[in-house]
């Protein structure tokens, strides 16, 4: 128990520093691209969406490395170092004048960043995308590894681990959206990007300090290789008739020991054609007690693949949620620029800090979910955790629909998206962790981010279509008076929302 407490005491500041740095780095990046590098809004938004999509695909590589041979601990360290290098590079571009175009206070007829200056930006974003690949699939699963995440412990716990994780992330994001964004808008971009870089560097140092205390689960080999072996074995035996008794299918405790520390998966009746991979033929065990895994798979390995197949429809549904949410940090910032954000004659809320409403909703929504919603739902459902992961995600989907409809109302839009995140995002991550085989949890976490990537790319596609087919319409709709760049962009934002 004392060991777990020490792990938590090191993981909490590490996660807070990391999220503080990452949120501070990305929250106002649309402003940096449009106001400092003078990129057009559509180009800047698509740049962030494309690199955001890339950074959400790279976790699949990180998951492969972590689950196959490196383990989550070393994958996190390597990913963190690469990420910091990217942050240092883009901070340097904010410090050195030759790496950015001349200032343009009027934002009219501004000189756009040159190809050389953009190459520095793209290299920095690429490094952060690669570093993210080592962090996103491993951080939450590594933290969960430090706790007893058995079903009994999870259901009896007073504070769901994933709610706790998102709450810590929300606290760090709140600090970034207020302190860092204010510095970026009112002090300098050098300090505004330098502080998050220092914070992430500190998080890496704190994480390494706890090396001897962490529980490190030994990688069980490539999950992608096991999936391929099951599929190949099933195809090779496609004409084999399986036994009537599933107990006759091949099992091997010793072979599955490294990938089933919490117990082996039991046979299920779904996707029975995959069971052919576990049918023992006379030629399978001729010379050695260890089978050729490209011809014979254990029941546990077959069930791993079945589990992933069952997860995929729920995973795919989350892509639409991400697509509607992905431009909250770019187009909504543009909408906020046209608002009266003054709280007093001398102070106004920075546009990028408007997303604080979403973060505040998450911070208040998670405790209310645990303390009010779960006990109330438990009375009706009899479920110890109130509702299932799927029910929680369904509620989040419904709220997200209302958030999209209300997108013209900025504050309500943020509130609703924050509430949707309490249900949808947390429920989705918990669902993937809970339903995935223990040896594939980094891969399951990578699926969470791949859905985010596909949603980002879908959003980019929609924005590009709107820009391509409505650019002339926006001008002709107001042919009596030419539109300014800001007014034109506002019109395009309205069309994207529609």
Q: Mind listing the pLDDT tens digit of every residue in the chain (498 residues)?
A: 455 555 655 666 666 766 777 777 777 888 889 888 988 887 887 788 778 778 878 888 998 898 888 888 999 999 989 999 999 998 999 999 898 898 887 777 888 889 999 999 999 989 988 988 888 888 878 887 777 555 445 444 445 678 888 888 888 888 888 888 889 888 899 999 998 889 888 888 888 888 888 888 888 778 888 999 999 999 999 888 888 888 889 988 888 888 877 778 888 988 999 999 999 887 776 656 678 888 899 999 999 999 999 999 988 888 877 777 665 555 566 666 667 777 777 777 777 667 777 888 888 999 999 889 999 999 999 888 889 989 999 999 888 877 777 665 555 777 787 888 889 888 888 888 888 888 888 888 888 888 877 887 777 777 777 767 665 554 554 555 544 455 545 555 554 454
Is residue 308 within 8 A of residue 439, CB to CB? The reply is: no
For helices 41-65 and 485-497, what crossing angle results, to 10°? 50
d(CA 427, CA 2): 29
CB 103 within 8 A of CB 188: no
Q: Where does residue 106 rank: exposed (0-12), middle (13-18), buried (19+ CB within 10 A)?
A: exposed
> What pLDDT, on a 0 to 100 scale, did the predictor assign at position 454?
83
Measured in residues, the chain has a length of 498
**What residues pair up with 68 in beta bridges, in sequence order?**
none
Q: Is the dihedral of CA 389, 392, 398, 400 positive or negative?
A: negative
CB-count burial class (<10 Å; 0-12, 13-18, 19+) for 49: buried
- Domain range list for the chain: 2-219+304-497, 223-303
Asked if residues 375 and 386 have their Cβ atoms less than 8 Å apart, the reply is yes
Q: Are 315 and 451 in contact, with CB atoms under 8 Å apart?
A: yes
Which residue bears the tokens 């669902």?
A: 431
How far is Cα 121 from Cα 119, in angstroms, rounded to an integer? 5
- CATH class, 2-219+304-497 region: mainly alpha
Alpha-carbon gap, residue 389 to 431, rounded angstroms: 5
Contact present, 220 and 259 (Cβ < 8 Å): yes
Instruction: Report the alpha-carbon distance of residue 498 to residue 494 in Å, rounded.
Output: 6
Helices 115-145 and 41-65: crossing angle, nearest 10°? 40
Angle at 483 between CA 481 and CA 489, to 5 degrees: 155
pTM for the model stands at: 0.77
d(CA 349, CA 177): 10
Up-side HSE of residue 169: CA atoms within 13 Å toward CB?
Answer: 20
Token pair of 171 as six digits: 């606290």
């Amino acid at each position: 128990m004392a060991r777990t407490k020490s792990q938590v005491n090191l993981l909490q500041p590490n996660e807070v520093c990391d999220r503080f740095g990452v949120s501070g780095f990305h929250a106002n990046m649309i402003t940096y691209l449009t106001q400092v590098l003078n990129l057009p809004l559509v180009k800047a938004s698509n740049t962030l969406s494309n690199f955001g999509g890339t950074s959400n695909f790279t976790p699949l590589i990180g998951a492969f490395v972590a689950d196959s041979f490196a383990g989550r601990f070393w994958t996190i360290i390597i990913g963190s170092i690469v990420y910091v290098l990217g942050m240092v590079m883009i901070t340097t571009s904010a410090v050195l004048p030759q790496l950015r175009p001349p200032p343009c206070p009027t934002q009219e007829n501004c000189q756009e960043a040159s190809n050389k200056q953009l190459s520095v930006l793209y290299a920095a974003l690429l490094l952060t995308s690669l570093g993210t690949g080592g962090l996103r699939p491993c951080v939450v699963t590594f933290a969960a590894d430090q706790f007893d995440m058995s079903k009994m412990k999870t259901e009896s716990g007073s504070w769901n681990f994933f709610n706790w994780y998102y709450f810590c992330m929300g606290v760090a994001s709140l600090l970034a959206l207020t302190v860092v964004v204010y510095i970026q808008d009112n002090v300098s971009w050098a300090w505004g990007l330098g502080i998050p870089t220092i914070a992430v560097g500190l998080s890496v140092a704190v994480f390494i300090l706890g090396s001897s205390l962490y529980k490190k689960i030994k990688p069980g080999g490539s999950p992608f290789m096991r999936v391929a072996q099951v599929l190949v074995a099933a195809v090779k035996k496609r004409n084999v008739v399986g036994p009537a008794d599933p107990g006759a299918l091949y099992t091997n405790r010793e072979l599955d020991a490294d990938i089933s520390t919490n117990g082996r998966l039991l046979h299920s009746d779904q996707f029975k054609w995959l069971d052919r991979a576990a049918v023992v033929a006379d030629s399978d065990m001729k010379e050695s007690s260890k089978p050729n895994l490209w011809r014979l798979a254990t029941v546990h390995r077959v069930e791993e693949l079945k589990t992933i197949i069952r997860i995929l429809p729920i995973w795919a549904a989350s892509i639409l949620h991400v697509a509607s949410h992905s431009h909250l940090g770019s187009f909504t910032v543009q909408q906020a620029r046209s608002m009266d954000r003054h709280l007093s004659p001398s102070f106004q809320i920075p546009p990028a800090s408007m997303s604080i409403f979403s973060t505040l909703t998450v911070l208040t929504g998670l405790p209310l979910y645990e303390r009010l919603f779960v006990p109330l739902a438990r009375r009706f459902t009899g479920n110890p955790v109130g509702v299932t992961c799927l029910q929680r995600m369904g509620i989040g989907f419904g709220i997200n629909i209302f958030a999209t409809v209300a997108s013209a109302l900025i504050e309500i839009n943020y509130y609703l998206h924050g509430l949707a995140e309490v249900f949808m995002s947390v429920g989705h991550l918990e669902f993937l962790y809970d339903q995935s085989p223990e040896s594939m949890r980094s891969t399951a976490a990578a699926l969470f981010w791949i859905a985010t990537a596909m949603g980002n790319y879908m959003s980019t596609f929609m924005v590009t279509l709107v820009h391509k087919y409505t650019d002339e319409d926006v001008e002709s709709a107001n042919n009596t008076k030419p539109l300014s760049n800001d007014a034109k962009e506002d019109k395009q934002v309205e069309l994207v929302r529609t």
